Structure 1
Amino acid sequence: MPPTDNHGSFLTRISIRRNQVVSMDINHEQELEEIESFQKHVSDRFTQLLPPIAGAGEETTVVGIDTPEPLLSIDWFRKLLDAYLCCESEFKAVLIIGRDATHFSKPPLDRLLPEHLDRTVKALDICNAITHGIELIRHWQRLAQIAVEALQQRPIVEGHVRRAKRALNTLLTSMTVNDKEINHHPGKSAERMWSISRRGGGGVPPAVNHNRTTIGKPRSFSYCFSKSWSASKQIQAMSNNLVVPRGGEPTGLAQPVYIMSSVLVVVMWTLVAAVPCQDRAGLGGHFQVPRHVGSGWAHPMIGLQEKVGEEWKKKGAGAAAGAGLLAEIQVTESIAQKLVEFTEGFEFPVGAEKADEVGAQVVELAEMCRRMEVGLGPLQLQVRELFHRMVRSRAEILAVMEQVGKITTSVPY
């Protein structure tokens, strides 16, 4: 048997091992840097969404950066969705690009990723509900516009007031109808709410004819969901198994998966609180970012939840059945109630002082109509983009998991 160079073979193996260790160290350091950068970007983007705050008797301390948009306004929600889409892109890059796909089949990712993908499925349902809710708000905007145009006439006569009163009463009734009541009393819903007709391929409610004195009866937009579907329960289901990763997890990728799941739930929770959706009872207590999370990304998320929670408490029990917390809708509802009081006590001719007061309210309502007219379309497009982005990202992650061929937890398709 010919002699073998065992010494040379041994040195070769040692050299290969050393190169592998160095490569693993570099990859691990790079992974940690990417995860830290991702956390920082999440923190920065959500910090910018927080409004400025001031302590009692102290100088104003600006927590947010460049935030002219009022909290929960249409423009603010557009920034919120932009922040989510940016975070989602970075998350996918951290999770997939340059990663060893076999990590996906090892604990804890073999459990965390399927759970995250399941949350995205539930988020898709919420996006559909939000899209229909925006259509309902557009209908409210049209009713408010009818009242604005009627009360802008000079002099204000009884015919203008009657027309405005009908539009405002229909608006306020639609804002306060409980979706559960609609489902249990279908006869009432035909008279009190409105529906989004899909005939002719359109999902937009028919335009209001401003030349007619009869205002169409609104109906429920919730027919596209089952009676048992609940936006509140959907949020609760998304947050049930959302647990902070342990410090000794085998892979650092568990942290960005947890962060992205938290961001997803917070964004969906905020949208449901603001836009009319079916059954929002108890929404305020269904999800809270854990305060013991030490990372900086959690602080602005907690601050955001606290601010939205405060608005929810101010709204009270009516928030679950009413119009939601969208700023423009809150102002519209408040002005509509004042103008209804004016129409109910109307006497011709209107005094100069009362005319000025009503005129100022009409101007403010007209501004809310303008904001909704300008902002709701782009907001709805962003919600659709969010929907399609989640579908694509979910498919890409599933494709990587299927390459490994070792999915241990069932994933709903």
Structure 2
Amino acid sequence: MPVTDYQGSTSSPFSFGRSLLSLRRDTTAIMPSGEEADLEAFQRHVASTLAELLPAADAGTGAGDASAAAAASGEEFLSAAWIRRLLEAFVLCQEEFRVVVAQARRRAGAQLPASAERMVAEFHERAVKALDVCNAARDGVDQVRRWERLADIAASALGAPGEVREGQLRRARKALTDLSALLVDDAAAASGAGGVASFLSSHRNRSFGRARASPSRTAGSAAAASATASHFRSLSWSVSRTWSAARQLQAIGAGLAAPRAHEAGLAAPVYSMGCVLHLTAWALVAAVPCPDRGNALQAHHLPAAPPRAAFPWAPPLLALQERLAEEGKRKDRRHSCGLLKEIHSLEKSTQKLAEAIDAAPIPLFGDRENDVREAAAELAAVCEAMRDGLEPLERLVREVFHRIVRSRVDGLDSSMHNAD
């Protein structure tokens, strides 16, 4: 997403939960205004926003009854809808942070202390590193969209009314073969292991190359599928070929440490935003295909954990980090191309349809035909849900990109103004 795409609009087409105005109205109703009160209110806003993202089972982790109710009624963890809410939460916290910094500058009269300006500038530099993550995530969504198109071709070929003919089966097989080639290629780029995609590839190559197909034709089809996958990969990534999600997350989290006891003022809000930024980037990398995302899921790529007692947002943030790490270790997700719920559903439904086709005689009849049609209908439903989720997710990733750019530009403008 080039920076020139941003037109400087301050409005957003998205709804970010509770409005910033209502948040500040709630705060002033509870405590008096002043620097200390504003900083404390910001910490509480971050805590409540993160608590609303907790899955229902984890909502009681220091989050309170309100957050538990919010989590219980929320979307399934790591679904496209949940990732959108995480991105919305980041934007909400970033906008509130911008207000806190602006108020601190006004109170200072002319310029923040040099140490405070340096901390704010360091956060902006940290956020700029997340722009590559946004680009990679946007590209990953494009990859998933390609998978969905191929899966939809296979499901549509077998979902038409009337008798299922051999031509329809061949069309579905071809789409599944191309899909498995893309899955293997992207899984290898992400983690160096094929996992479910590797099983699909070997299963498809074995079953689709039956005795009725000549060996030369089978080899040609496999080569064509491999060439198609390589072509997609070469055109898909806007980041460098040597770019690594793991290294980028390390760069975002580098030097992120809790403020010392004697550090007051903006030290705590800057640290809070650094932790929220890192969590958001880590979840994006975990959810969708990204180069080297397998290594990025390792726990040692996380910064030092914030003290639970020192910050009200620490318990929900740590609970979210722990849940993300657990999902990455699950046996059925470990070598997946992404932890996004819709990706997992696509892999399972694609495998189910491929197995149903392999077990079906030609022409289809009886229970075998019912199995194929049922698997095709399940895959079609998964494709529809994926289409509904991917487009708004991609738009919101772009919005986060532009918000970071805008925040950095505003920070530079403020620094130059103060320097004058």
Q: Confirm or deny a common fold (TM above 0.5).
A: yes
Residues 111 and 418 in structure 2, CA contact (< 8 A), matched pair in contact too: no
For residue 8 of structure 2, what is the aligned residue in structure 1?
none
Q: 1:198-250 CA deviation, whole Å, 9 max, x = no partner?
A: xxxxxxxxxxxxxxxxxxxx44345533232111110011112101011211x
Contact kept in structure 2, 1:151 and 1:161, CA below 8 Å: yes
Distance 1:378 1:181 in 2: 27
3-state SS of paired residue (2:382): helix
- Map residues 11-410 of structure 1 onto 2, 5 A cutoff: 30-53=34-57, 63=68, 65=70, 67-97=73-103, 98-100=106-108, 104-107=112-115, 109-153=116-160, 154-177=162-185, 178-179=188-189, 191-193=227-229, 218-249=232-263, 251-284=264-297, 285=299, 286-288=301-303, 290-294=305-309, 295-314=311-330, 319=335, 322-405=336-419
Q: Are the equivalent residues in 2 in contact too, given 1:130–1:272 (CA < 8 A)?
A: yes
Q: 1 CA distance for matches of 2:354 and 2:102?
A: 57
**Which residue of structure 2 aligns with residue 211 of structure 1?**
none
Shift of 1:39: 1.4
Moved over 6 A (4+): 187-190
Secondary structure in structure 1 of the residue aligned to 2:70: coil
CA distance in 2, matches of 1:239, 1:352: 58
Q: Residues 348 and 69 from structure 1, CA distance in 2 versus in 1: closer, same or farther, beyond 3 angstroms?
A: same
Gaps of 5+ in 2: 1-31, 60-64, 193-222
Report how many residues are paired: 344
The 2-side partners of 1:376 and 1:390 are apart by 21
Give the drift of 1:102.
Answer: 5.7
State whether residues 150 and 161 of structure 1, in contact with CA within 8 Å, keep that contact through their aligned partners in structure 2.
Answer: yes
Identity, % of aligned positions: 37
Offset from partner CA, 1:108-141 (integer Å, 9 cap, x none): x243223211111111111111111111111111
The alpha-carbon distance between structure 1 residues 279 and 101, as it changes in their structure 2 partners (threshold 3 A), is farther
Instruction: State the TM-score, normalized to the length of structure 2.
Output: 0.75
* 1:360-410 residue CA offsets vs partner (Å, 9 max, x unmatched): 33222222211221221111111111111111111111222223339xxxx
User: What is the TM-score with the length of structure 1 in the denominator?
Assistant: 0.76
Whole-Å Cα distance in 2 between the matches of residues 103 and 244 of structure 1?
A: 24
Q: Secondary structure at the match of 2:34?
A: helix
Q: Contact 2:139–2:237 (CA<8 Å) still a contact in 1? A: no
Q: Work out the CA distance in 1 between the residues paired with 2:293 and 2:113.
A: 37
Which of the pair is proportionally richer in helix? 2
Deviation at 1:146, TM superposition (A): 0.3
Q: Report the CA distance shift for 1:90/1:188 in structure 2 as closer, same or farther (over 3 A).
A: farther
| CA RMSD, 1 decimal | 2.8
Secondary structure of 1:282's match? Answer: helix
Larger radius of gyration: 1
1:147-195 superposed Cα distances (whole Å, 9 cap, x missing partner): 110121332222212211111122122122222899xxxx999715265
Q: What residue ranges of structure 1 are gaps of 5+ in the alignment? A: 1-27, 56-60, 196-217, 407-413
